[in-house]
Structure 1
Amino acid sequence: MGDPRVSGPADLHLHSACSDGTEAPSQVMVAAHEAGMRTVALTDHDTTIGWDEASDAAAALGMTLLPGAEVSAKHHGRSVHVLAYLFDPAAPALGEIMQRVRDDRIGRAERLVGNLARDYDIAWEDVLAQRTGDATVGRPHIADALIAKGIVVSREEAFADMLHPASPYYVAHYAPSPLAAVRAIAEAGGVSVIAHPAGRGMLPRGVLEELIAAGLGGLEIAHRENTAAGVRVLREIAAAHDLIVTGSSDYHGVGKPNRIGENTTSVEMVERIIAAGTGSAPVRP
Structure 2
Amino acid sequence: MSVNLTSDFESLSRWFHIQTGFVKSSLLTPPAQDRSSLQQVFQTLNARSCPKSYNFHLHTRRSDGQLEPYEVMEQAIEIGLKGLTITDHHSTQGYKEAQKWLDNWKHKYPKRVNQAPRLWTGVEINARLLAVDVHILGYAFDPDASSLQPYLQGCTTEGTDAYSAKNVIIAIQQGGGLAVLAHPARYRYPVPELITEAAHLGIDGIEVYYAYRHTNPWLPTAKITNQVKQLTDGYGLLNTCGTDTHGRNLLLRL
When normalised by structure 1's length, the TM-score is: 0.57
2:226 is equivalent to residue 182 of structure 1 = no
Residue 224 of structure 1: how far off its partner (Å): 1.3
Q: Is the 8 A contact 2:138 2:178 kept in 1?
A: yes
Residue 102 of structure 1: how far off its partner (Å): 1.4
Q: Is the 8 A contact 2:126 2:156 kept in 1?
A: no
Q: Is the 8 A contact 2:134 2:187 kept in 1?
A: no
2:179 is equivalent to residue 192 of structure 1 = yes
Q: Quick one: percent identity of the two aligned structures?
A: 30
Once superposed, what is the RMSD of the aligned Cα atoms? 3.0
Q: Which residue of 1 aligns with 2:124?
A: 70
**Which of 237, 240, 254 matches 1:243?**
237
1:229-240 equivalent positions in 2, closer than 5 A: 229-240=223-234
Residue 90 of structure 1: how far off its partner (Å): 2.1
Unaligned ranges ≥5, structure 2: 1-35, 42-48, 107-115, 214-220
Q: Which amino acid aligns with 1:65?
A: L
2:144, 2:174 → 1: CA distance?
A: 11
2:131, 2:148 → 1: CA distance?
A: 21
- The 1:27/1:80 distance shift into structure 2, 3 A limit, reads same
2:76 is equivalent to residue 21 of structure 1 = no
Q: Which amino acid aligns with 2:164?
A: S
1:225, 1:204 → 2: CA distance?
A: 14
SS of corresponding position for 1:216: coil
Unaligned ranges ≥5, structure 1: 105-171, 264-285
- The 1:76/1:98 distance shift into structure 2, 3 A limit, reads farther
- The 1:201/1:58 distance shift into structure 2, 3 A limit, reads farther
- The 1:228/1:200 distance shift into structure 2, 3 A limit, reads farther
Q: Which residue of 2 aligns with 1:39?
A: 83
1:45, 1:186 → 2: CA distance?
A: 18
Q: Which residue of 2 aligns with 1:253?
A: 247
1:103-142 equivalent positions in 2, closer than 5 A: none
Residue 192 of structure 1: how far off its partner (Å): 1.0
When normalised by structure 2's length, the TM-score is: 0.64
1:91-110 equivalent positions in 2, closer than 5 A: 91-99=145-153, 102=155
Residue 93 of structure 1: how far off its partner (Å): 2.7
Residue 210 of structure 1: how far off its partner (Å): 3.4
Q: How many residues of Structure 1 are paired with residues of Structure 2 in the alignment? A: 188
Residue 230 of structure 1: how far off its partner (Å): 3.6
